């Protein structure tokens, strides 16, 4: 309700009973080194909008000195919160199972692709061997051609011929 983080709403991460301070998610300060750390906020500057009463110790502390009707309301709230927590756990488990199924399905097609590739290799390899054999035979069957181009005499031979022709 006060200070530079006024209006910020989030969950409480840590409570320090001795110092009467609370650490709230998202309330951080930057140190001189550049690291971010949680900023402790004094409990008197906070407004609690929803209280987690699933903990028995916490309920007992809250119920001390209260009327029976208030105690019953706290118990009802605790039961509702426990139901919500169980539903969230079930939803998380179902999501995890769904992710596992997706991963397994993703792996299965790769296995099928690998078997297809091996089958393709088996069928391609004999054909490749046949092609290689026929090309090798054609190469062997072709007679070596003699080059018909005239070779120019080397410089030394040309000089000797000129000297012999000249008187």
| pLDDT value, residue 5 | 83
Cα distance between residue 2 and residue 42, in whole Å = 10
- pLDDT band (50, 70, 90) for residue 150: low
Give the pLDDT confidence of 40-80 residue by residue, as tens digits. Answer: 999 999 988 888 888 888 888 888 888 888 888 888 888 89
Tokens of residue 75, six digits: 């118990």
Mean pLDDT, range 96-124, rounded to an integer: 69
Are the CB atoms for 102 and 78 separated by under 8 Å?
no
Give the pLDDT confidence of 62-73 residue by residue, as tens digits. Answer: 888 888 888 888
**CA-wise closest residue to 50 among 80, 21, 92, 20:** 80
User: Is the model more confident about 131 or about 14?
Assistant: 14
Could you tell me which CATH number the domain at 1-49 has? Answer: 2.30.30.30
């Amino acid at each position: 309700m006060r200070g530079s983080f006024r209006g910020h709403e989030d969950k409480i991460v840590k409570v320090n009973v001795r110092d009467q301070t609370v650490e709230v998610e998202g309330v951080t300060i930057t140190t001189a080194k550049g690291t971010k750390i949680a900023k402790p906020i004094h409990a008197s500057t906070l407004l609690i909008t929803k209280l987690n009463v699933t903990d028995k110790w916490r309920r007992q502390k809250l119920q001390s000195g209260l009327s029976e009707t208030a105690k019953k309301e706290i118990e009802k709230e605790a039961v509702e919160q426990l139901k919500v927590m169980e539903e969230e756990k079930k939803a998380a488990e179902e999501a995890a199972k769904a992710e596992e199924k997706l991963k397994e399905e993703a792996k299965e097609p790769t296995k099928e692709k690998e078997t297809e590739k091996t089958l393709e290799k088996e069928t391609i390899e004999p054909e490749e061997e046949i092609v290689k054999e026929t090309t090798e035979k054609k190469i062997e069957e072709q007679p070596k051609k003699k080059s018909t181009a005239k070779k120019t005499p080397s410089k030394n031979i040309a000089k000797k011929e000129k000297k012999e022709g000249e008187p």
